[in-house]
Structure 1
Amino acid sequence: MFRPPTVEGDGCAPSPIRLRVLSLGAGVQSTTLALMAAHGIVGPMPDLALFADTGWEPASVYEHLRWLMSPNVLPFPVHIVSAGNIRQNLLDASRGERWASIPAFTRVIQRGGRVEIGMIRRQCTGDYKIAPIRRKVRELLGLTRKRSPPFAVAEQWIGISTDEAVRIKPSFEPWQVNRWPLIERRMSRQDCLAWLRRHDYPIPPKSSCIGCPFHSNAAWRRIRDHDPDAWDDAVAIDRAIRSGLRGIRGEVYLHRSAVPLDEADLSIEADHGQLDLWPNECEGMCGV
């Protein structure tokens, strides 16, 4: 299907890598990486980019993705893959159906009135990002329902920048190797923004699910103040998942304070001392 590339600097020896895939989240980092590849700054050129659609991205992300997929922007195709709609999955979960858990927060009242706040184990990245991308890559390699080779035949580019280097994780699949070209070039998120501005490209929106519990107060404020439809949607889903989730004790909330989203303190003052939860998304597949 794909012609095996040659090893850089060798000139004749074939490389086992048969497919190079850019994981495109349509955020700042992965957009910069895709456009740098288009400029020939990062190579070899990817064979394609894959956007894993959770079905619950902000409208601005889908608009930016359409621009990336428009003619004369990228010299390689962008494929959209999906494992379903995570928003609908949460609504189904509120009725007691099976669900891929998100890292939402639980509020349990213990004996004596003590309130305990916890976080639910996260499965959404694996189910809605990693799995559909892996499935598509295997399909393109002709490995569907076949035994995997014991060596890497696919290379996946992931747009993690230096300020999020803690999220780097090697591939656990022997047939695939991960690569982080922005790390190789020692580029931070601010460096990516500067590169986009120098080349007069549009600045991408933040790429993450509308109701992602990893949102900081600043992120929630941006949604509330600049995307009222998304805010209303997040508030509605937050209310819907309060109870009924299989295997979960107590009430469930999208905001880390474990209070209803539309009642949470999102003030700048409340930002002080707030932990950044994004390093917990250690697969590095969200928010880029």
Structure 2
Amino acid sequence: MSKAKTIFDSMVFRGLVPDVVSYSSLLNGYCKSLKIDEAMDLFNEITRKGLKPNVVTYNTMIQGLFRVGRCGDARKLFDEMHGKGQMPDQLTYGIILKGLCSNHQIEEALSLFHLMCDSKLNMDIVVYNILIDGASKCGKLDIAKALFKDLTNKGLHPSARTYNVMIGGLCREGLVGDAKDLFLKMEESGCPPNNVTYNVLLQGYLKNKHNDDVEMLLHEMDGRCYSLDATTLALLLNQIAAGLLHNTLLEMISKLVPKELMDSP
């Protein structure tokens, strides 16, 4: 970041006038480094220099504020964006919704979502995925289920990501049977489970002590040439060490460990 700031300052020193794109690039660096106060100072400098922040500038700053939990400031900036005639795009709304959900403000996220629907904005599957994921992680599984059901009414089709977050949410609430039913429905719906789906369901089985289903799922993963992620692998090894799973599974598990995990210390 310091190198980028040095280059930026040298431009100014040589009499070059940075444009909004240059400011936005530096702003992005500050936000990714979680240097939000420096980012806000730079954002305010844009208008002081007579420049007008564009939608990318606002999106970057709003996302940075959410990352450090400054939801109120993010919402104020979103309102300012409206007030200054800068129209939010689909990405802006995605950032706001994800930021609110990540900070456990699911009710506020839903209010914004309903406003978006009333404004006839194009609701795509990405927006639904953000809300379904946020609701399920906040323990609002009833809301997640309602949103999932609403997809059909909106003419949208669940993606693998949609199924994955729903299966994860059901498993977190101990509804492993419902999670398994949804997993089986994926193939029927023309959206086959992917590597993430298998890991999510396997973690659900392990955390909820549905150990009888574990071996069958491992065999399926092997048949599809899928692999275990680090979390699933750790859970499996812990269960074996605790005597909850038979150590004969180790041979199968070794076939499902990706090379990068084998090479890690």
Q: TM-score, normalised by structure 2?
A: 0.27
Whichever of the two has the greater Rg, that structure is: 2
Greater per-residue helix proportion: 2
Q: TM-score, normalised by structure 1?
A: 0.26
| Larger RCO of the pair (alpha carbons < 8 Å, separation 6+) | 1
Greater per-residue strand proportion: 1
